[in-house]
Amino acid sequence: MDAGAVAMDSEDGKSYSSRKEMWLQEAGEDAETSRDPDLNKKDEWYQNGIKYWTGVEATVDGVLGGYGNVSSWDVMESDRFLLDVLSECMPDYVRGNRHLVALDCGAGVGRVTKQLLLRHFHEVDLVEPVQHFLETARRDLKSHILESNVIQDHSLHRVVNFFATPLQNFTPEPNRYDVIWVQWCIGHLTDQDFVTFFLRAKVGLKPDGLFVLKENVSKCGMPNLFCRLTTFR
Ligand code: SAH
């Protein structure tokens, strides 16, 4: 969003004249100079996010804000997108002779991992800060081993790591991931923390790895109007 645009706080309907003003008021962060944030305010911003999700039931319907019915459509579109980009960017993926690893960021109860990523990737790691979500994902996915039905390599696909941490504190292992998938959670990070996470994520990617960001975007106030998938290299 450019600095002149009006940014809305959807929680309590506050509006701000600029992105800079919003971040300053909401999270004590100077979005332009990246100088000395107000750490108490920033802490409060992140705690409020966690507090909200801690009160939400650990189900697909819960993490999708009551719109659990969109999950299969969401997965179908992501699946098509992933097949396209992997086929184009990683030719050895199609031949089935590449060991693929993905990271699911803000993974919730593991919906994206279970329904999408495990179909394509041999190893998937989850990073999620809300304890009861991650525990549900762990219970559901620990012994969930899938034989790939997308690429015909007949090798087993499984979850390897469950990281209980928020993205602003997470640093991926260097050079581990073919794809870092960030879906419906990046709005929790302040602009600066997103940029610094993005830079750390780059180090976590293999040289031809992809960073995928899937978010709702809106041209007119209300969110949830469009869903946009974007890759970065
Ligand atoms: N990506 C999942 C969950 C979306 S709900 C899916 O599509 O099914 C948003 C998720 O973001 C919740 O699981 C919430 O706990 C998580 N979240 C909240 N604050 C976060 C933060 N600072 N870093 C990473 N994830 C966060």
Calculate the alpha carbon distances from 126 to 9, 40, 130, 216 in Å.
29, 28, 12, 21
HSE toward the beta carbon, residue 200, CA cutoff 13 A? 13
Q: How far is Cα 99 from Cα 11, in angstroms, rounded to an integer?
A: 43
Six-digit token pair at 226?
A: 């469009």
Identify the pLDDT of residue 156.
84
Cα of 53 to ligand 1 centre, how many Å?
8
The response to whether residue 110 sits with its C-beta less than 6 Å from ligand 1 reads no
Q: Which of 114, 128, 168, 191 has most ligand 1 atoms within 8 Å of its beta carbon, as the pocket-test mutant?
A: 128
Dihedral angle, C-alpha 147, 150, 154, 156, nearest 10 °? -40
In angstroms, the Cα distances linking 59 to 43, 69, 136, 175, 230 are 27, 12, 8, 32, 26
Task: Kindly report the number of other CB atoms within 10 A of residue 224's CB atom.
Answer: 11
Show the low-confidence residues of the chain (pLDDT under 70): 1-12, 34, 146-154, 219-233
Distance from the alpha carbon of residue 141 to the mean position of ligand 1, in angstroms: 17
- Phi and psi at 146, nearest 5°, equal -120, 135
Ligand 1 centroid vs 166 CA: distance in angstroms?
A: 9
Average pLDDT, the chain: 87
- What are the tens digits of pLDDT across the range 20-43? 888 999 999 987 776 777 899 999
What's the gap in Å between 128 CA and the centre of ligand 1?
A: 6
At 32 the pLDDT is: 75
Closest by CA to 7, choosing from 187, 161, 160, 210, is: 187
pLDDT at residue 121, as a whole number:
93
